[in-house]
Structure 1
């Protein structure tokens, strides 16, 4: 493994660890019903946009072609607006562990979309993996629908799944665009586009919060969500996306349940049930199967050829 690949793997590990921790942190911030899911989303989008613009002032200028700027604004809808909006609303309705387990469906979704768009080969092993992963997700959703305690909720689970679908579309369809610019430039314009989409409709909710009356733990939670769960994590994802294939980028999602579980259980917010344990086993088995390929080198060449044609 060369340095370029190593930094890509390290970036994806760090980003997904922070996203995993963000599930219980977001649940804690919204638990008192003082801060709504929409306000959390606004904080993430606007806060990250400001941080990326500030960081860009210290970076070498990286002008973006008008056509690519429009594509970046479109990418922002998939990677940020729909992804973050669905995730935050979803995690407010379901448990942190459920949310992070469902995020492990991202590699499966990414593989399916890659098969159609990038013509990535689909083997019997990968098909079996998709079946395993889908079964695990179904067990988790059905467990939430029965009201199995610990905050599980079918609508929250489905919103988390929708968030993964929108991000998988971003990973596959916009990989070539991401490779042309620096991570800071990419994220600066994507979060700007997201702010333009969201804030005209939600800025009133943001201003209605009495920020001076909030307890320090809520403010610290929002600071983590903006600084680590959004700014740093999206920056690291952009680095990983430039160095690794979409399916490899997406496999690091399995770090999220581990990080979320440790924090949620330490805080007494969640517990593992037998149903969740079985669901985890199915999803992780599916993720492992669909991301393994005995002929990986040939597959990568085929994907690269299809993307360039």
Structure 2
């Protein structure tokens, strides 16, 4: 991979994490007015509509039966279980628990990739993951998080979300390299929207759209366009060029980016803990992804 293409991949992966970092508070606000199942269905159906339209407007690749079967299977892990676990988990636990549990994504991705023999174990990658994980746990003040029995259902759903997304990152790399990111994104979102529709159409049909404030529709537009359509595409695009564990590693940037956004927009204080955590996260990501 050339230095220029490498920079493009790294830029794309950072952009994905910015979109996801903003998506957390957006989702919390949307869940005040929409049922979790209704929001999952709406987000994925609109996302599929947008990207399938893009796919058909380009010169689409011819999809064989095997391709469709693979895309349908990937949609179960990367869209249906992932999004249901994320939304339903967020509705039943607190953000601090969700954030800590989602730090397992790079660890699980590396584990699945090695166990399924999609990647060889590399000490540099494992050390980079460990350094970045330490930074995230420092930032999230994991030493102050206390287990509470009323959140166990949400925590388990969030863990299921993390595991399904990790497995998706590992399994989707082959089909992405074969079909390209446009076809892969369109197929996964299309099949995923079918499962989401079955799951949430009933709740979606009960929404009183006229009573929703205009800000809700702007938040919906953001969540569909950026962390759904664009982020899924950029993840697929990156997966065609780098290993799954490298893509997952950038998840650790989310809390750092979220803290930076809060400092700039909400004028929250930047503490010594934030600085130390940020340095550890960046050190881990750079160490694991730099050229060997």
Q: What is the TM-score when the length of structure 2 is the normalising length?
A: 0.82
- 1:131 offset after TM fit, Å? 10
- In structure 2, the partner of 1:249 is 247
1:145 aligned residue (125, 144, 147): 147
Distance 1:132 1:7, change over 3 A: closer
The CA distance in 2 between the partners of 1:10 and 1:175, in whole Å, is: 19
Q: Deviations over 1:65-124 (max 9, x none)?
A: 111110111001111111111111222233445534443322111111122112522549
Task: Indicate the RMSD between aligned Cα atoms, in angstroms.
Answer: 3.7
Q: Which stretch shows the higher mean deviation, 216-225 or 12-21?
A: 216-225
- In structure 1, the partner of 2:121 is 121
- 1:266 offset after TM fit, Å? 7.4
How many residues are paired up?
286
Q: Unaligned 5+ residue runs, structure 2?
A: none
The CA distance in 1 between the partners of 2:130 and 2:190, in whole Å, is: 35
Distance 1:92 1:261, change over 3 A: farther
- In structure 2, the partner of 1:198 is 196
The CA distance in 1 between the partners of 2:51 and 2:66, in whole Å, is: 21
Counterpart mapping for 1:129-208 below 5 A: 133=133, 136=137, 140=142, 143-146=145-148, 153-208=151-206
Distance 1:201 1:285, change over 3 A: closer
- In structure 2, the partner of 1:219 is 217
Q: Unaligned 5+ residue runs, structure 1?
A: 298-309
- 1:198 offset after TM fit, Å? 2.5
Distance 1:64 1:93, change over 3 A: same
Is 1:107–2:124 an aligned residue pair?
A: no
Query: 1:187 touches 1:234 (CA, 8 Å); kept in 2?
Result: yes
- In structure 1, the partner of 2:9 is 8
- 1:174 offset after TM fit, Å? 2.3
- In structure 2, the partner of 1:305 is none
The CA distance in 1 between the partners of 2:254 and 2:201, in whole Å, is: 30
Distance 1:16 1:5, change over 3 A: same
Query: 2:41 touches 2:199 (CA, 8 Å); kept in 1?
Result: no
The CA distance in 2 between the partners of 1:154 and 1:132, in whole Å, is: 26
The CA distance in 1 between the partners of 2:155 and 2:198, in whole Å, is: 28
Counterpart mapping for 1:283-298 below 5 A: 288=284, 292=288
Distance 1:64 1:78, change over 3 A: same
Q: Which stretch shows the higher mean deviation, 51-60 or 69-78?
A: 51-60
- 1:246 offset after TM fit, Å? 1.0
Q: What is the TM-score when the length of structure 1 is the normalising length?
A: 0.78
- In structure 2, the partner of 1:21 is 22
Q: Which stretch shows the higher mean deviation, 115-124 or 182-191?
A: 115-124
The CA distance in 2 between the partners of 1:38 and 1:72, in whole Å, is: 23
